[in-house]
């Protein structure tokens, strides 16, 4: 298989995960803010 498949776990970045203090950074401050603050709100709307 691939390295990602063997070494990574894909999870939904939900409000619950964010509220547990899970650390996330893609290296871009604007995208980090979107994933940690805005994405859960968009998910609720759609």
| pLDDT 10s digits, 1-46 | 688 888 888 877 777 877 776 677 888 999 888 888 888 788 777 7
Which pTM was predicted? 0.50
Listed as own residue / partner, the contacts of 5-14 with beta carbons closer than 8 Å and 24 or more positions apart are 13/39, 13/40, 14/40, 14/43
**DSSP letter at 21?**
T
């Amino acid at each position: 298989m691939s390295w990602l498949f063997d070494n990574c776990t894909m999870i939904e970045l939900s409000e619950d995960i964010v509220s547990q203090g899970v650390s996330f950074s893609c290296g871009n401050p604007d995208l980090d803010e979107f994933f940690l603050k805005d994405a859960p709100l968009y998910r609720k709307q759609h």
